[in-house]
Amino acid sequence: MTAPIDVTALRADFPALDNKVNGRPLIYLDNAATTQTPRVVVEAEVDASYNRRANVHRGVHSLSQEATAAMEATRRRVKEFIGADSTDEIIFTRGTTEAINLVASSYGSLLKAGDEVILTTMEHHSNIVPWQLLQQRSGIVIKVVPIDADGSLDLDEYRRLFSERTRLVSVCHVSNVLGTVNPITEMAAEAHRHGALICVDGAQAVSHLKVDVKALGADFYAFSSHKMYGPAGVGILYGRRELLEAMPPYQGGGEMIGHVSFQGSTWADLPYKFEAGTPDYIGAAALASAIDYMEAVGMDNIAAYEHALLDYAMEQMRTIDGIRFFGTAPGKAAVISFLLGSAHHYDTGILLDQLGVAVRTGHHCAQPLMEAYGIEGTVRASFALYNTREEIDIFIAALRRVAAMLS
């Protein structure tokens, strides 16, 4: 069961939404890049900065112990949020990018020349380039799943790509360009049937739908705080315990060691083996508040509300002559990529900004996907729990004005 969202009350939690751009009320539709942050999360950051600013895990004094307790409480909160078995499986990173790099560098070091990694055409560069770097270092083979015209993965081709050398599939849960929600449970089952693992880029999923890593069958799952109403510079890597235990450290330094001598070093237990150096313990503590905020609204409620916004926006946008959509897969998330006829995406974005509407333009760190569509980039509007139908109406009116100017 879902319940209606009191969006007026929610919007009062986000001061940024009261801003004006070029004398007009801000219509913020760039949530796939970064969501705005509610007061409660900022207050958690301020409280931690003022009252618990002491390095974690390394001090016997009270302030350090309090900072450590706050960070570890967030680790427990993340474990519950994504359905992991243990806090040992929850690693703090700087974001999804670092989390995937960790897997590519650490698990990747166990791969040999000729071993295969399967990616998809719709991946963000953060889930392409780390594997290419590994390819250069180790000689792995990268295979790529194509997409259908509506932006869905070609699952028949996905199944055909497996061989006895396939070791890993790395795929986005939700496309940051197309909004396509990939069938991770089905894809994970196929990977496991071939003895391969699956690493999931969940950056675009965790703020829009309920994630259960065990139900999905994910071996690794990565996401970022700043896309889920939390602080920037904080991310999470989930990894199954037995896999993390077998993997070498990603970075060396303080905290991740058991014992250091010039004759050799040993590593700390999980999860600290992968957390070298001083972490962003301020941001990490505040991430718990962002999770609490989303769950207070209800993940199912958020999903239902955002899908209603998406359907309404798509319906209105289809009435604009010459508009071209990229990504129309059934059940997609609240992301719309489009072009106005032959107008350049950058021109469209600049003109929309003049009218107070914030959208993203460009290749969205997905150049291979753009090449597959034969375009340089798109305009992207992406919705969050605080957006409204009234904002969509303003967006549509602005889009009509821009279309007339660029026609």
pLDDT 10s digits, 331-387: 999 999 999 999 999 999 999 999 999 999 999 999 999 999 999 999 999 999 999
Quick check: 296 and 381 in contact, CB under 8 A? no
Supply 317's token pair: 């946008």
User: What average pLDDT score do residues 207-217 get?
Assistant: 97
Asked if 52 and 70 count as a contact pair (C-beta separation under 8 A), the reply is yes
What value does the mean pLDDT take over residues 169-182?
98
Q: What does the mean pLDDT of the chain come to?
A: 96
3-state class (DSSP) for residue 279: coil
Q: Flag whether pLDDT at 2 surpasses 90.
A: no
Catalytic status, residue 172: no
Considering the chain, tell me which residue range(s) the CATH 3.40.640.10 domain(s) occupy.
42-295
What are 315-336's pLDDT values in tens digits?
999 999 999 999 999 999 999 9
Flag the least confident range among 150-159, 264-273, 368-377: 264-273
Note the pLDDT of residue 377. 98
Looking at the predicted structure, is the pLDDT value of residue 142 above 90? yes
Give the per-residue pLDDT at 324.
98
- The region of weakest confidence among 50-64, 286-300, 327-341 is 50-64
- pLDDT reported for residue 254: 85
Q: How do strand 116-120 and strand 166-172 relate by DSSP bridges?
A: parallel
Q: Exposed/middle/buried for 342, CB within 10 Å: 0-12, 13-18, 19+?
A: exposed
Fold entry, domain 7-30+298-406: Aspartate Aminotransferase, domain 1 (3.90.1150)
Domain with CATH 3.90.1150.10 in the chain: 7-30+298-406
* pLDDT(255) > 90: no
Number of helices (H), then strands (E), belonging to the chain: the values are 14, 17
Determine if residue 405 is left, alpha or beta; phi over 0 gives left, psi from -120 to 50 gives alpha, anything else beta. alpha
AA letter at 365: C
Whether residue 249 is predicted with pLDDT greater than 90 in this model: the reply is yes
| pLDDT attached to residue 407 | 85
Average pLDDT over residues 226-242: 98
Q: Please, are residues 287 and 231 in contact by the beta-carbon 8 Å criterion?
A: yes
Q: Name the band, by pLDDT with cuts 50, 70 and 90, for residue 66.
A: very high
Q: How far apart are CA 131 and CA 78, in angstroms?
A: 27
Residue 57 is predicted with a pLDDT of: 83
Tally of CB atoms within 10 A around 162:
18
Tell me the two tokens of residue 291.
């999770």
Q: Decide if pLDDT at 101 tops 90.
A: yes
Read off the pLDDT band of 60 (50, 70, 90): confident
Beta bridge partners of 337: 326, 380
Residue 280 clears pLDDT 80, i.e. is over it: yes
Report the Cα–Cα distance between both ends of the chain, in Å, rounded: 45
Distance CA 64, CA 62 (A): 5
Q: Tokens standing for 55?
A: 């390095």
Task: With CA atoms as reference, report the closest residue to 305 among 174, 209, 380, 398.
Answer: 209
Considering the chain, what percentage of its residues have pLDDT values greater than 90?
94
Q: Report the pLDDT value the prediction gives residue 303, as an integer from 0 to 100.
A: 97
- Find the angle CA(126)-CA(254)-CA(282) to the nearest 5 degrees: 65
Residue 58 has pLDDT above 80, yes or no: no
CATH class of 42-295: alpha beta
Residue 287 C-beta-side C-alpha neighbours within 13 Å: 34
Mean pLDDT value across residues 191-207: 98
- Distance, in Å, from the CA atom of 265 to the CA atom of 374, rounded to the nearest integer, reads 51
The percentage of residues in the chain with a pLDDT greater than 70, rounded to a whole number, is 100
Cβ proximity of 90 and 84 under 8 Å: yes
Q: Which member of 268, 320, 365, 394 is catalytic?
A: 365
pLDDT at residue 197, rounded to an integer: 98
